[in-house]
Amino acid sequence: MDPFIGEIKLLPWDWAPKGWALCFGQQMQIAQYQALFSLLGTQFGGNGVQTFNLPDMRGRTPLASPTPTLGAAIGTEVVSLTVTTMPGHNHGFTATSAPASSNPASGNIVGTDAQGAIDFLAAGPATPFPINAGTIAPNIGGTAHNNMQPYLVMNYCIALVGIYPSRN
């Protein structure tokens, strides 16, 4: 069965069959693929006079929706968290103004020793040790992390030739 021109299929190969092209955003000549251009236009790029682009499906998940506009590429493969994009949260810990001298401790406890210094007593048999007074400051940003859902790598291919699809 001949495909519709512009039909897109997911294939498990690293090559496109005859009459198809990988959906890698390639620039195509309108004069060579007039029927395909009449269907795609410049929604994936190109100047619309001599060239148009195929969709670039690398690192993308297709979404069937009238909004956003067809051809819109939204999202990113990696993201860096910043103070403004991170949800509010706390890093609580147990503290007491009583001496941190019970051994073994029931949990990690921050407390004061007999001289009034701040000590930390680890859970289990441990000896209190001094810690510096201060606050816990945020430490975010830096290297971006992967933002992709679990995936299986395959290639999208688009039919360059075939049956022109009827709208009726």
CA distance 152 to 138: 36
Q: Tally Cβ neighbours within 10 Å of residue 45.
A: 18
What does the pLDDT read at residue 106? 52
* pLDDT at residue 105 greater than cutoff 50: no
- Summarised one tens digit per residue, pLDDT across range 22-46 is 999 999 999 999 999 999 999 999 9
103 pLDDT above the threshold of 50: no
The b/e string for 72-101 (b: 16+ C-beta within 10 A; e otherwise) is: eeeeeeeeeeeeeeeeeeeeeeeeeeeebe
The pLDDT of residue 34? 98
pLDDT at residue 137 above 80? no
Residues facing 156 on adjacent strands: 10
What global pTM score does this model have?
0.63
Read off the amino acid at residue 105. A
Minimum mean pLDDT range among 42-51, 96-105, 115-124: 96-105
In tens, the pLDDT along 120-134 reads: 555 555 555 555 556
Kindly indicate the confidence band of residue 118, based on its pLDDT and cuts at 50, 70 and 90. Answer: low
Tell me the C-alpha distance between 115 and 117, whole Å.
6
- Per-residue pLDDT at 85 exceeds 70: yes
Q: Where is pLDDT greater, at 87 or 2?
A: 2
